[in-house]
């Protein structure tokens, strides 16, 4: 998947004019990119469009218009765009109650390494987690992690050919396994070269 450049972005003025429609398009797109993993966790699979939206929103909020600062945002978010042989996701632990979240994050240390995907007929894929910086501490994990799942050419061929896809978490304090719904699976297949 092609990385974003400054030429792919709207200026602040242009974005103000198209934001409502662009946001609606992205939110509709994201419906096929979210995979709930039980009641309190989800994978949000990133791609070129989700990252363009993230960058546009950062530029808007921070009022960034200098070329060097725009490039800095591109440098931060481009690594989250899949490369054609992997899936990249934001992994979120979602506990609305602050006290419940604090207790859960203390119980779930290392959970980012226990999330998995599995193409039918193949071994589980374990993620490469938080390549940009470590988000866990000995006494608690973070509520957001960035994961990369590398697929072999054989896995890519199988999933493109219709093989099923499962996902889950295998942590002592949080275990779940789900079939990836067809809409999410189709969206993920589109990420592959």
Is the per-residue pLDDT at 70 higher than 90?
Answer: yes
Long-range contacts of 25-31 (CB under 8 A, 24+ apart): 25/49, 26/50, 26/53, 31/183
- Report the SS3 class of residue 108: coil
Give tens-digit pLDDT for 87-103. 999 999 999 999 999 99
- At 133 the pLDDT is 62
Six-digit token string for 41 = 């966790």
Is the per-residue pLDDT at 77 higher than 70?
Answer: yes
Give tens-digit pLDDT for 110-165. 999 999 999 999 999 999 998 766 666 778 999 999 999 999 999 999 999 999 99
- At 135 the pLDDT is 61
Boundaries of every domain in the chain: 1-30+48-81, 83-193
- Report the SS3 class of residue 24: helix
Whether the Cβ atoms of residue 166 and residue 179 lie closer than 8 Å to each other: yes
169 or 131: which carries more pLDDT confidence? 169
Q: What pairs with residue 175 in β-bridges? A: 170
- At 138 the pLDDT is 77
């Amino acid at each position: 998947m092609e990385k974003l450049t400054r030429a792919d972005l709207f200026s602040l003025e242009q974005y103000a004019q198209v934001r409502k429609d662009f946001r609606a398009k992205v939110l509709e797109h994201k419906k096929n990119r979210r995979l709930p993993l039980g009641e309190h966790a989800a994978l949000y699979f990133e791609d070129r469009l989700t990252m363009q939206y993230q960058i546009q929103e950062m530029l808007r909020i921070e009022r960034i218009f200098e070329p060097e600062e725009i490039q800095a945002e591109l440098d931060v978010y481009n690594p989250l765009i899949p490369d054609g042989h992997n899936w990249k996701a934001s992994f979120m632990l979602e506990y609305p109650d602050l006290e419940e979240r604090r207790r859960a994050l203390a119980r779930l240390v290392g959970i980012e390494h226990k999330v998995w995907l599995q193409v039918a007929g193949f071994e589980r894929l374990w993620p490469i987690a938080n390549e940009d910086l470590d988000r866990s501490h000995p006494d608690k994990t973070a509520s957001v992690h960035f994961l990369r799942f590398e697929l072999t050419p054989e896995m890519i061929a199988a999933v493109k050919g219709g093989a099923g896809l499962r996902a889950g978490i295998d942590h002592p304090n949080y275990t779940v396994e789900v079939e990836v719904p067809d809409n999410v699976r189709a969206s993920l297949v589109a990420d592959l070269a």
